[in-house]
Structure 1
Amino acid sequence: AAMPLFIGYFQMKKQGQAIREEGPKWHNSKAGTPTMGGLVFLIGSILTGIWVGAWQKQLTPTLFILLFVLALYGVIGFLDDFIKIFKKRNMGLNSKQKLIGQILGGIIFYLVYRSEGYPGVLNFFGLDLPLGIIYGIFALFWLVGFSNAVNLTDGIDGLVAGLGSISFAAYGLIAWHQHQYDVLIICLSVLGGLLGFFVYNRKPAKIFMGDVGSLALGGLLAAISIMLNQEWTLLLIGLIYVMETASVMLQVTSFKLT
């Protein structure tokens, strides 16, 4: 219900997504399309998660740390989007500023993760590897890496909203199977928000989710895979994100070498 109002506000203010001049020419038609739609479904997902968690007596530290990751990575993306729109150009926070925020979020997540008695054991395709403090480094890499991977994938109408819906539905099933109902609540809350957003984001998109949505979704997926001790499954569930990131890295490397 809030999305049409959000779209209308951006259209009234004539504020929307700037398009890079060096990008594909077919992207030019998207210039001026309202962005930051992720803010709406993030707020809805967080409020729903807290409400359902209270109703089902599942307001656990796990639920709150997952909401924290969603919110903090969303704030990083929000600042990035806000600067882009305010300055009317396709540049926001620089990579160093983003990285500092993402690492900070990863450190806090890991500290809470260990304080709750989670062992820091990496599930490597079914093989448990007790990594100790090294697992903390892995957790940071996982959150930062996948938040950026989802962000890089968000370039086609409805793509991340659709893939994200599938990803959170998959982790919802895993959480249900493992009886981790606090994680299930988060998965379903975000899934509901994404499905509602997809209606407005499918081709031709009336609004983009922006970095506020994509960075938050990627960070949350990584955090959920860790909480479920199903880290390796993200390489399958998030295969498109991995492939997109690998493609971008290859293109950048090729460009630098030529």
Structure 2
Amino acid sequence: MLYLTLFICFITSILATPLVKKLAFKIGATDKPNQRKVHQRIMPRLGGLAIFIGFLVGYLVMQPTSIYALPLLIGSFIIIITGVLDDMMELSPKIKLAGQLLAAGVVVIYGGVQIQFINLPFGGTLEFGFLSIPLTIIWIVGITNAINLIDGLDGLAAGVSSIVLITISGMAIMMGNGFVTTMGFIMLGSTLGFLVYNFHPAKIFMGDTGALFLGFIISVLSLLGFKNVTVISFIVPVIILGVPISDTFFAIIRRIVQNKPLSAPDKSHLHHCLLRLGYSHRQTVLIIYAMSAIFGLAAVIFSKVQGMWASLLVLGILLVAIEIIVEKIGLVDKNYRPILNFVRGVRYSRVKN
């Protein structure tokens, strides 16, 4: 039934996307090219509405039973309304954030989706107490915006989100979490259907409607799949979301290094750096897909290794690999190369001696 639902959501999204495209032009939900944009012509956005339609159809078909189902649905409607309004009239950052906080608040406060405690590796638990609500809301809003930030090339956010959803759903199957598995499959089918029209050269953009919705659902599903576990295991959703999280993290570092406001836009995100290195639009997207898949595989390996030291070794290797890639492509700054400079210095000293 799961695979049938995935197919139904896929077909629904494919059928809905052309209709949403016409609606986008009719209501003025379009994206005009500028110096920060890669596209060269006016493009319809609002494509996330097609993903949402596929999601609703899948939800009605499967009717997943969980105490989290209704709050997640209500939060999704709030996010979709926020995204549609932003695609139409470009809301101010404060209003857009307010919509995200409201959606997250519904899921966290009304739905009870909270990071309440973590089991410590050497025994005992770390109780978050009154901090559980703000911490969970920060996670949801943070991941929601991280997905939004990587939505800079045709098919990028939709493809990366699909890979993340495959990983979350696969691990939910292994853990016997039926609700997360079902919702993951519903979202995966709906996103892949839209990706048919969104992959380069795109016929429609997902807009904030899609990026915020995908980020919201992924952030909540990752919590439901891995909450209240050990410190080591809690790193799993962070690894799964490695591409959007690392891109957002290094964007913050980049702005601090360059003495720019954290909210300042730029053209130095992961996809911009790869384009500057000479990769084509499609090659850049496929490279980032591969990175996301590697993160997903690393998350599975990380969750299966036995012992804390083995887990730390896997995590250490992953962090060093990320840092080297960041330095190679100039994600922070072209002069930011601590590890590469260190290696170069060691090689130079060896040659000199």
TM-score between both structures, scaled by the size of structure 1: 0.82
1:3 pairs with 2:6:
no
Letter in 2 for 1:148: N
**Count of residue pairs brought into register by the alignment:** 239
Letter in 2 for 1:7: K
Name the structure 1 match of 2:271.
none
Letter in 1 for 2:238: L
Name the SS of the counterpart of 1:188 in structure 2.
Answer: helix
Name the SS of the counterpart of 2:244 in structure 1.
Answer: helix
Residues 63 and 13 from structure 1, CA distance in 2 versus in 1: closer, same or farther, beyond 3 angstroms? closer
Q: Is the 8 A contact 2:29 2:87 kept in 1?
A: no
**1:50 aligned to which of 60, 71, 74:** 60
Q: Is the 8 A contact 1:14 1:32 kept in 2?
A: no
**2:84 aligned to which of 70, 78, 97:** 78
TM-aligned CA deviation for residue 67 of structure 1 = 2.6
Letter in 2 for 1:120: Q
**1:37 aligned to which of 23, 42, 47:** 47
Q: Distance in 2 between matches of 1:15 and 1:119?
A: 37
1:217 pairs with 2:214:
yes
**2:162 aligned to which of 147, 162, 165:** 165
TM-aligned CA deviation for residue 34 of structure 1 = 1.3
Name the structure 1 match of 2:260.
256
Letter in 2 for 1:165: S
Letter in 2 for 1:4: P
Alignment of 1:91-240 (within 5 A): 92-114=90-112, 120-122=116-118, 129-230=126-227, 231-240=234-243
Deviation above 6 Å: which 4+ runs of structure 1? 123-127
Residues 12 and 229 from structure 1, CA distance in 2 versus in 1: closer, same or farther, beyond 3 angstroms? closer
TM-aligned CA deviation for residue 165 of structure 1 = 0.7
**1:247 aligned to which of 245, 250, 257:** 250
Residues 33 and 66 from structure 1, CA distance in 2 versus in 1: closer, same or farther, beyond 3 angstroms? same
Q: Distance in 2 between matches of 1:209 and 1:126?
A: 45
User: Once the two structures are superposed, what CA deviation does each residue of 1:25-75 show, in whole Å capped at 9, x if it has no partner?
Assistant: xx241x31111111011122123123212xxxx332222223333332222
Q: Is the 8 A contact 1:36 1:210 kept in 2?
A: yes
Runs of at least 5 residues in structure 1 that lack an aligned partner in the other structure: 84-91
TM-score between both structures, scaled by the size of structure 2: 0.61
Residues 13 and 228 from structure 1, CA distance in 2 versus in 1: closer, same or farther, beyond 3 angstroms? closer
Residues 108 and 126 from structure 1, CA distance in 2 versus in 1: closer, same or farther, beyond 3 angstroms? farther
Q: Is the 8 A contact 1:36 1:213 kept in 2?
A: yes
TM-aligned CA deviation for residue 13 of structure 1 = 7.6
Of structures 1 and 2, the one with the larger relative CO (CA 8 A, separation 6+) is 1
Largest Rg, 1 or 2: 2
Q: Distance in 2 between matches of 1:193 and 1:44?
A: 5
TM-aligned CA deviation for residue 78 of structure 1 = 1.3
